[in-house]
Amino acid sequence: MPALYGEVGGTHNMDFGGYCSLLEMDDDIVELALATGLDNRDLVLAQGRYMTMYRKQNQILKKIAEDYDSSPWVDEEGQPMPRDQVEAQAIFGTSQRMTELESAIARHKLGLMKFELDRQKQALDARKQALAEWNRHPMPLAERIEHTRAIMKHRVDNELSALETARLFDLEHLEYPPSLHAEMLKEVSWIEPTAHKEGGVTDEELEAESRAYREQQRVREEWLLARNEEITGIIANEAAHQAGELLQEDDFTGTDGADGEGVLVGDVVDAWTPDDALPDDEDDDPNAEPEETW
């Protein structure tokens, strides 16, 4: 801790508008300022100063509350001061200095965050450059050109195919010449796919599956025919049943009634008719008044 006291303070601390130091600060405030200062002495000092002023302000407000329970404070002339006035002086008396410290803390934190982002970006760029160096071909360009010429000459001398020549380039980790790459693609297109001897479907298996399918279709057609005949019989029986409930010719007697209509079996031809309810012309009207006699 003494080493830190020597580092923090002096003319460097004039950034905050006045001289300040971690000396005479409470130990808990110093520890908290160091823990949240991001290893920056300016930020540590500003936070320590701010927390000290905040603590002193709260202590004054508590003292005012305790004193005003018994007797008020007095001004220079000995006159009692209102409690609101005393509290306002305690709060706003240090407000300007605390505002300056708040701005300094925010400014330093933003600067440190930007600095950390820049540092990480530089580290990432360095890592990318190292990977690029690692992946770069160990041969210089002139040597790679010479190796390419030697491989192509070896191909002509030994009548190698494009695929065989490409394998030689792969062994040297060299890029294919554009002409060789085109020939290689053409040779690949000529290669016929090899049939797998194991795991495929043989002709016998295909024939067996075909016979099974045809047998299944035959059984299905026979079932459809039988089902259609069954449905036709059901419909015919239902129609006959419904027709049996209707009147047939045998239900009539073959005789006609008085009105010329056919008479059903069991009906009496001379049965009562609605006309029987009408009175005869010769019958007296039961509701007629008796005739007077003289």
Instruction: Based on the fold, state whether residues 87 and 29 are members of the same structural domain.
Output: yes
Q: What is the pLDDT of residue 19?
A: 47
Confidence of residue 107 (pLDDT cuts 50, 70, 90): confident
Q: What is the pLDDT of residue 291?
A: 57
Q: Report if residue 177 sits inside a domain.
A: yes
Q: What is the pLDDT of residue 152?
A: 92
Instruction: Based on the fold, state whether residues 170 and 50 are members of the same structural domain.
Output: no
Q: What is the pLDDT of residue 272?
A: 55
Does the pLDDT at position 262 exceed 60?
Answer: no
Instruction: Based on the fold, state whether residues 88 and 21 are members of the same structural domain.
Output: yes
Does the pLDDT at position 174 exceed 80?
Answer: yes
Q: Report if residue 71 sits inside a domain.
A: yes
Q: What is the mean pLDDT of residues 69-78?
A: 85
Domain that holds residue 183: 141-190
Q: Report if residue 6 sits inside a domain.
A: yes
Instruction: Based on the fold, state whether residues 150 and 129 are members of the same structural domain.
Output: no
The DSSP result for the chain, as a single string, is -HHHHHHS-GGGGGGGTS---STT--HHHHHHHHHTSTT-HHHHHHHHHHHHHHHHHHHHHHHHHHHHTT---B-TTS-B--HHHHHHHHHHTSHHHHHHHHHHHHHHHHHHHHHHHHHHHHHHHHHHHHHHHHHS-SS-HHHHHHHHHHHHHHHHHHT--HHHHHHHHHHTT-PPPHHHHHHHHHHHHHPPPPPPSSSS--HHHHHHHHHHHHHHHHHHHHHHHHHHHHHHHHHHHHHHHHHHTS--GGGEEEEE-TTS-EEETT--TT---GGGGSPPSSSPPTTSPPPP--
Q: What is the pLDDT of residue 255?
A: 53
Q: Report if residue 158 sits inside a domain.
A: yes
Instruction: Based on the fold, state whether residues 15 and 83 are members of the same structural domain.
Output: yes
Instruction: Based on the fold, state whether residues 80 and 172 are members of the same structural domain.
Output: no
Q: What is the pLDDT of residues 108-161, one digit of tens each?
A: 888 888 988 999 999 999 888 888 777 777 788 888 889 899 999 999 999 899
pTM: 0.35
Instruction: Based on the fold, state whether residues 113 and 12 are members of the same structural domain.
Output: yes
Instruction: Based on the fold, state whether residues 53 and 159 are members of the same structural domain.
Output: no
Instruction: Based on the fold, state whether residues 152 and 69 are members of the same structural domain.
Output: no
Q: Report if residue 268 sits inside a domain.
A: no
Instruction: Based on the fold, state whether residues 76 and 163 are members of the same structural domain.
Output: no
Domain end, chosen from 91, 117, 134, is at: 134
Q: What is the pLDDT of residue 14?
A: 40
